[in-house]
Amino acid sequence: MHNLHITAQQIRIFEAVSRHLSYTKAAEELNLSQPAVSVQVKRLEENNDVKLIEVIGKKLYLTSAGEHMFKTCTSILGELKDLTAYIRNEQDSIEGELKLAVVTPAKYFIPYVLKAFLNKYPDVTPSITVVNRRRILDELKQNQYHLTVMGRVPAELKMEAFPFFKNELVMVAPPNHPLAKHKQIPLSEIVNEKFLMRESGSGIRIALEERLAQENYVIQPYMELGSTESIKQGVMAGLGISVIPRHAVRIEAKYGHLTVLDVQGFPLSRDWYIAKMQDKVLMPPAVAFLDFLKSVDINKLLVMSDTR
């Protein structure tokens, strides 16, 4: 078995060249000469008897080994960045990167939470990725985020999760809907409506289907739409009704753009969770964010934002 011969400088250089697919741009980023960058990549290849980069028609392409090397170098540099942040934060200053993934419906309240958090910890650099549940599950396995906000914690992944906010799912309709002013509408009057729904496997859709199943109802969606925002727009346009988190429609309901129906068994109450992979060691910014979520009144934050 051959040992890999690579220096810390070569890791930085190869990662930059692979990211830019350019010796010149990598050299500019690293404040090195272009020949110095080329020499280091060539030396890396020769010392390990492997071809990492191919030049075809003046364009750079990573070989299969090069792709693997790029991922490894990116991971190593990420770990070093976290280590640097950890060492700095040992001096009682919370700073560094906070990488959050949030499922789509959470984007309607997380920015307000993050603003309050950054008021307290201004040296933290946040990065929010809004994705659907299916993509989050794939990317969690690749260790891409520090923390994840989700409505359902997947049983198939080893995760630690903490409930921090009640997620009320309400049934919404256009303001001129015939049932808009009715009280305690039975499900039997609802199931024949045209339902706008998220894709199969979405947390909100699962919650609705479970509620309907309690009374032996099964519905087929009139339309499947890819985001909470597109469903809201569809409801306001009069295409049908839907089930949406209350916090996602609070502005539209306040100004009469849609109405929350009074349906028996609704709102459905679910928890929002902040979760991490079980073996993930959190850096101080992520630890601080976790502690913040356990102490903050999110409903109060949202009310304050709506009255500005």
Tens digit of each residue's pLDDT (9 = 90 or more) over 94-112: 788 898 888 877 888 888 8
For residue range 248-300, what is the model confidence (pLDDT) as tens digits? 888 888 899 999 999 988 998 888 888 888 777 888 888 899 889 888 888 77
Dist CA 88 CA 292 (whole Å): 20
For residue range 40-91, what is the model confidence (pLDDT) as tens digits? 999 999 988 899 999 888 889 999 999 999 999 998 888 888 777 766 655 4
Length of the chain in residues, anyone?
A: 308
pLDDT on residue 305: 60
pLDDT on residue 257: 92
Q: How sure is the predictor about 146, in pLDDT bands with cuts at 50, 70 and 90? A: confident
Using N-to-C axis directions, what is the helix angle for 23-30 and 8-20, rounded to 10°?
130
Q: Nearest-CA neighbor of 150 among 139, 163, 138?
A: 163
pLDDT on residue 275: 86
Mean pLDDT of 164-187: 90
Dist CA 113 CA 116 (whole Å): 5
Q: Which residue has the tokens 């010796």?
A: 23
Radius of gyration, CA atoms only, the chain: 25
The answer to whether the predicted template modeling score (pTM) of the entire model surpasses 0.85 is no
Buried b (16+ CB within 10 A) or exposed e, 77-110: eeeeebeebeeebeeeebbbbbbbbbbbbbbbbb
Mean pLDDT of 230-234: 92
Give 280 or 132, the one with higher predicted confidence. 280
Q: How sure is the predictor about 142, in pLDDT bands with cuts at 50, 70 and 90? A: low
The enclosing H or E element of 100 equals strand 96-103
Q: How sure is the predictor about 4, in pLDDT bands with cuts at 50, 70 and 90? A: confident
Q: How sure is the predictor about 215, in pLDDT bands with cuts at 50, 70 and 90? A: confident
CA distances from 57 to 22, 54, 60, 61, 278 (A): 13, 10, 8, 10, 46
Q: Which two tokens stand for residue 70?
A: 């790029």
pLDDT on residue 1: 45
Give the largest Cα separation in the chain, rounded. Answer: 77
